[in-house]
Amino acid sequence: MTGAAAVAASPHRDDVRSRMGMWLFLLTEFLLFGGLFVAYAAYRSIHRVEFHHAGAELNALLGVGNTVVLLTSSLTVALGVHALRSGRDREAPLWSCATILLAFVFLAVKAVEWSVKYEHGLFPGKPALAALPAGERLFFGLYFATTGLHALHVIAGAVVLAVAASLIARGRITPDAPVIAENAGLYWHLVDVIWIVILPLFYLAA
């Protein structure tokens, strides 16, 4: 019996257990960003006007564009899992590749955003940031911390998806034991959900 088939047939297999563990892990990621959202809520309530001003400095178009990129990447992940479950395990890794491609697009846009800010001196350690009023400085502090941490999670998610895609391609994840791939998908979707919250907080603050 191959490894995958053995897992599928194993009497100890408990997919709910695997997914439950993954959901619990996702909750911790949500609470990690939750701390940042708490900080945002706090600072926004005492620096309402400055947050509004600082938000205008961000490129809403890029922010919305990246949102559509991530939403689409969620679709491709979901279609990949769907393909796997439907037995089309040759097709599934292709969807993962599409997702990873979209992740690269997202990161590229983010890199552009950050380098533009860097050139304008609106960057930690740079003079233009230090010259801003306190509330605007804090907006940017939270902006870089939040989107930076999110970008790290995009990278991590892309790696996870790449590993899952490779396991599918090698037959180690099969249509009747897809839980690892499903879990990889769950992680990616959470990265998307967090961005869904980030969008209005920062890019639509103006």
Please give the residues from 11 up to 70 whose contact with other proteins meets the rule CB under 8 A. Answer: 11, 13-17, 19-21, 23-25, 27-39, 41-43, 45-46, 60, 64, 67-68
Backbone φ and ψ for 204, nearest 5 degrees, come out as: -110, 20
In the complex, the smallest distance separating the C-beta of residue 104 from other proteins, rounded to whole angstroms, is 20
The torsion region of residue 193 among left (phi > 0), alpha (psi -120 to 50) and beta comes to: alpha
CB closer to other proteins, 83 vs 165: 83
Structure tokens at 37: 């959202």
CB closer to other proteins, 22 vs 165: 22
Q: Which of 192, 117, 182, 179 is nearest to 153 (CA)?
A: 192
CB closer to other proteins, 46 vs 108: 46
**107 exposure class (CB count in 10 Å sphere: 0-12, 13-18, 19+):** middle
CB closer to other proteins, 60 vs 105: 60
In the complex, the smallest distance separating the C-beta of residue 64 from other proteins, rounded to whole angstroms, is 6
Among 141, 151, 156, 169, binds other proteins (CB under 8 A): 141
Using DSSP, state whether 174 is helix, strand or coil: strand
On the CB side of 179, how many CA atoms lie within 13 Å of its CA? 15
Per CB under 8 A, contacts with other proteins among 173-202 are: 175-178, 182, 185-186, 189-190, 192-193, 196-197, 199-200
